[in-house]
Amino acid sequence: MVNTVKIYKPLLRATMKLAGVRPQKIEVEPGTVMNIWAPSRSKENANNGKKPAVVFLHGFVGDGILTWQFQVLALARDYAVYVPDLLFFGGSSTGDGRRTVGFQAECLARGLAKLGVQQCTVVGFSYGAMVAFRLAELQPELVESVVATSSGPVVTESLSRECLERLGFPTWSEVLLPDSASALKKLLEIGSFHFPRLPKCVFKHAVEGVGVKTHS
């Protein structure tokens, strides 16, 4: 059976390019490459141009452009929109052994600097919001404001346990690393206000065609 997600992704890339954003591979340090969707003429559209910069950070499943495609289409005309794939997701990779939010934020700051971004608003969802808070802490001159959803600036062990109990899962790995269509559907419903009704095959294809590379 044809994988609908794999068919959709090239169409999405073409649509984003028509909207004026293109993926750029940025080597932030030796062995570490971030894929960042950025304005086609990035240097002119960053803070030294007319458009204010907005950076969108995705959650723990999927990648940047799949998560934020509708926001990009809505805002690209009036804002310089940047949508990175965080390390270990989408087109971003590293040989570094670090797996911390701080490392993500440091690499993102370097990538944005290479694209000429001097100041920005950062919008983060879930894990992406955690990276956004850390980026604001590390680079206050870069981050003008943070818009966060499904996350908070501090996650304590007791808060983590309480959230897991409320969601009905024993561990975060079972929440964030779905290995079946039903598990992915539940995760997306948890992270959405009103998640649209989709055929079961779409979730199955998403599990097969999208996901996290490695976290161990």
pLDDT tens for 134-155 read 999 999 999 999 999 888 777 7
Is residue 49's pLDDT more than 80?
no
C-beta of residue 75 within 8 angstroms of C-beta of residue 86: no
Q: How far apart are CA 23 and CA 186, in angstroms?
A: 30
Whole-structure pTM value: 0.81
Q: pLDDT tens digits, residue range 167-215? A: 888 888 888 777 788 888 887 777 777 777 888 887 787 777 654 444 4
Domain assignment present for 216: no
Same domain as 94, residue 22: yes
Same domain as 173, residue 69: no
Q: How far apart are CA 54 and CA 75, in angstroms?
A: 9
Domain assignment present for 36: yes
Is residue 132's pLDDT more than 90?
yes
Which of 7-11, 54-58, 96-100, 179-183 has the highest average model confidence (pLDDT)? Answer: 54-58
Residue with the two structure tokens 């289409």? 73
Domain assignment present for 65: yes
Same domain as 183, residue 101: no
3 state SS for 14-30: HHHHHCCEEEEEEEEEC
For residue 171, the enclosing domain spans: 155-211
Beta strands in 30-119 (DSSP E): 32-39, 53-57, 80-84, 93-94
Handedness of CA 210, 108, 76, 16 (dihedral sign): negative
Residue with the two structure tokens 């141009």? 49
pLDDT band of residue 48 (cuts 50, 70, 90) is low
Same domain as 132, residue 46: yes
